[in-house]
Amino acid sequence: MIHLKNVSKIYSNGTEALKNISLDIEQGEFVFIVGASGAGKSTFLKLLIHEEKANFGKIKVNGYDLMKIRNRKIPYLRRTMGIVFQDFRLIDKMNVYDNIAFAMRAIGSPEKAIKKRVQYVIDMVGLKGKEKCRPNELSGGEQQRVSLARALVNNPEMIIADEPTGNIDPKMSFEIMKKLVEINKRGTTVIIVTHEHELVKEFGGRIIMINGGEIERDEKLPTKYHPADITDSEPSYSE
Amino acid sequence: MKFSSSGYLIKEGLKNIWNHRMMSLASIIVLVSCLIITGAAMLLSANVSSLISSIGDDNQINVYLDYEMSDIDAIKLGSQIKKLPNVDECEFYSKDDAIKEYKNKLGNLYESMQGDDNPLGNAYKVQLKDLSEYKQTIEQIKKINGVVSVSDRGDIARTLTKLNYFVTIVGFWVVIILGVVTLFIISNTIKMTMYSRRFEISIMKSVGATNTFVRIPFIIEAMTIGLIAGLLSSIILISIYNPVRETASNVISFIGKSTIPLEELWGFILLGFSGAGILIGALGGFISITKYLRKEGGEILGW
């Protein structure tokens, strides 16, 4: 799913953000990327979505060779992943439904499929009844759930969450993390960038620590949290 | 891009116009002004060309006789003109007939310009056989005793040719300069819309929207602004064309007959201007959104 070999990233100002990194992340893994500010976590995520290009090495993500990918193929790479931002990135003038539907409209999905799928992910993230609310009428936790629903709506193979709990209170953080675990149990790879060590200890999984642009630690912790069995079936696009 | 998205993209483009209505309105007003000036230059050029060709086709000249000449002398002079080899027809045109032509324009003055008070002289309307000998024939007529002047429309044709050349050159530059100005205006309007929607564009890019998908609403917005400006300017031009034509005919009598009637022009004006508006809009929108996507628009904001 993700394969990095001897990857280095040096910015034009000379900053060496990543130094000779090699790692593999398999389908269905639950991964925390941890590290101090400026350690290279964000650069790592930017390389995955091809927001930045590595200077050296090999990167393969969801079947795309990112060292050779053509510009017109980048949108299709990004459709294989959903991104959750720390600051939610919701459009103020749109309600919850439209914020989520926007991600499907942006890739040209038919309106019928949008209706079905959006309602499904709204229910999944626990926002039923809030469809008509604007982002400013929601709490931080609810806004992050909208952001999560938007990331999920195109049925991605992988969720990339950049500090998803950074702007919400501890109780809501726990709820968001539970949702991410639920999503992971459905087979979606989840990569979470965070600096909240408590959450990492609480939820466990694979922990990759980046420090000074290098991988300092890569280990698996036992998962303490087990979501209830998920019994509802997910509608497919073809429905 | 999927066909199913076309409705959504068109709606988004039209919504952009409404969301930035003041900017759109300002663009439309400036575009209408530019298109009217461009259109006026083109119409003037077309009409001057039409005048020149009608003068060229006209092989009739007027020969004006000495005011004091008696009717008998005038008849004798007529027979001299008829003898010239290049003269086909020679019709006497009395000063009474001449003043009658101005009856409507003169109004109350007409009655006071009868008989001896008629300021006009007798004349002959002469039809030529061969226009290539136009100049020589005029010279021969001028030499006949009693001929005061000859309406040498060749001079008018030459003046109009010069005017047409001038109008064409000026018109060409007007079209080029105002074309660039309109492109600039449309591009700036689209830039404003893009700036206010840069956050949405960024999210679109992060979820995998293609550049084509991002571009289309902006191009539709620009094309619609261009179309509205094209329609408005053509309506204005169509409604002022006839009054301007009539005023010009009142000043120079032969203009009325030789200019292009509105019936032949309105379809061209309407379609041409709407088409030009859409084309300039599409081009302006495409240039600015492509430039934006190539620079900052491809990035995910603040990441």
| Span B242-258, average pLDDT | 73
Of A116 and B293, the structure prediction assigns the larger pLDDT to A116
- Mutant choice from B207, B213, B290 vs A, greatest count of A C-beta within 10 A: B207
Flag whether pLDDT at B157 surpasses 80: no
- Mutant choice from B9, B213, B215, B303 vs A, greatest count of A C-beta within 10 A: B303
Helix-strand-coil percent breakdown of chain A, rounded to 5? 35, 25, 40
Pull the structure tokens for residue B72.
């008998």
**A28-52+80-221 domain in CATH 3.40.50.300?**
yes
Query: How far off is chain B from A192, nearest CA to CA, in Å?
Result: 15
Inter-chain CB proximity A83 and B204 less than 8 Å: no
pLDDT-derived band at B13 (thresholds 50, 70, 90) equals confident
Residue with token string 């999503």 = A183
> Is the CA virtual torsion A223, A148, A215, A187 positive or negative?
positive
- With a pLDDT cut of 90, the percent of chain A lying above it is 62
| Span B187-197, average pLDDT | 83
| Span B94-122, average pLDDT | 77
Residue A2: what pLDDT? 94
What value, to the nearest 5°, has the Cα angle with vertex A79 and ends A2 and A76?
90
Contact A211, A181 (CB under 8 A): no
What is the residue-averaged pLDDT of chain A? 88
pLDDT-derived band at B252 (thresholds 50, 70, 90) equals low
Please give the Cα distance from A218 to A31 (Å, whole number): 10
Range in A1-10, B61-70, B101-110 the model is least confident about: B101-110
Question: Could you say which of A42, A51, A79 has the minimum Cβ distance to residue B208?
Answer: A79
pLDDT-derived band at A191 (thresholds 50, 70, 90) equals very high
Query: How far off is chain A from B165, nearest CA to CA, in Å?
Result: 49
pLDDT-derived band at B256 (thresholds 50, 70, 90) equals low
Residue A34: what pLDDT? 93
Residue B124: partners with Cβ closer than 8 Å, 6 or more residues away: B62, B63, B65, B77, B78, B81, B90, B91, B92, B93
Flag whether pLDDT at A225 surpasses 50: yes
Query: How far off is chain A from B12, nearest CA to CA, in Å?
Result: 11
Please give the Cα distance from A62 to B294 (Å, whole number): 25
| Structural domains of chain B, with CATH | 3-55+157-297 (no CATH), 67-145 (3.30.70.3040)
Q: How many CA atoms lie within 13 A of B167 on its CB side?
A: 19
- For the question of an ipTM over 0.85, the answer is no
Question: Could you say which of A42, A72, A106 has the minimum Cβ distance to residue B209?
Answer: A106
- For A140-149, how does the pLDDT look when each residue is reduced to its tens digit (9 = 90+)? 989 999 999 9
Please give the Cα distance from A19 to A4 (Å, whole number): 12
| Interface contact B196, partner A, CB < 8 A | no
- With a pLDDT cut of 70, the percent of chain A lying above it is 93
Contact B278, B180 (CB under 8 A): no
Residue with token string 């495409």 = B286
Strand partners, A214: A211
The alpha carbon of A120 is separated from its chain's Cα centroid by a whole number of angstroms, namely 19
Range in B3-7, B86-90, B260-264 the model is least confident about: B3-7
- For A15-40, how does the pLDDT look when each residue is reduced to its tens digit (9 = 90+)? 999 999 999 999 999 999 999 888 89
Range in A25-39, A146-160, B100-114, B215-229 the model is least confident about: B100-114
Please give the Cα distance from B283 to B31 (Å, whole number): 14
Please give the Cα distance from B200 to B210 (Å, whole number): 13
> Is the CA virtual torsion B5, A233, B206, A7 positive or negative?
negative
Of B51 and A118, the structure prediction assigns the larger pLDDT to A118
Please give the Cα distance from A59 to A41 (Å, whole number): 16
| Interface contact A85, partner B, CB < 8 A | yes
Q: Which of B293, B288, B295, B172 is nearest to B223 (CA)?
A: B288
Residue B76's φ and ψ, nearest 5 degrees, are -60, -45
CB < 8 Å & 24+ apart, contacts of B25-30: B27/B185, B27/B186, B27/B188, B27/B189, B27/B225, B27/B229, B28/B225, B28/B228, B28/B229, B28/B232, B30/B181, B30/B182, B30/B185
| Span A202-226, average pLDDT | 87
Flag whether pLDDT at B102 surpasses 80: no
Please give the Cα distance from A130 to A155 (Å, whole number): 21
pLDDT-derived band at B224 (thresholds 50, 70, 90) equals very high
Inter-chain CB proximity B299 and A51 less than 8 Å: yes
| Span B219-228, average pLDDT | 92
- Mutant choice from B206, B210, B215, B296 vs A, greatest count of A C-beta within 10 A: B206
Residue A128's φ and ψ, nearest 5 degrees, are -60, 135
Contact B264, B165 (CB under 8 A): no
- For A90-115, how does the pLDDT look when each residue is reduced to its tens digit (9 = 90+)? 988 899 999 999 999 988 898 899 99
DSSP code of residue B109 = G
Chain B neighbors of A166, CB-CB under 8 A: none
Residue A79: what pLDDT? 92
| Span B68-82, average pLDDT | 87
Pull the structure tokens for residue B171.
């018109």
pLDDT-derived band at A227 (thresholds 50, 70, 90) equals low
Of A136 and B160, the structure prediction assigns the larger pLDDT to A136
Q: How far is CA B165 from CA A72, B46, B95, in A?
A: 49, 11, 37
The residue type of A7 is V
Please give the Cα distance from B140 to B37 (Å, whole number): 46
Flag whether pLDDT at A59 surpasses 90: yes
- For B265-289, how does the pLDDT look when each residue is reduced to its tens digit (9 = 90+)? 888 889 999 999 999 889 988 988 8
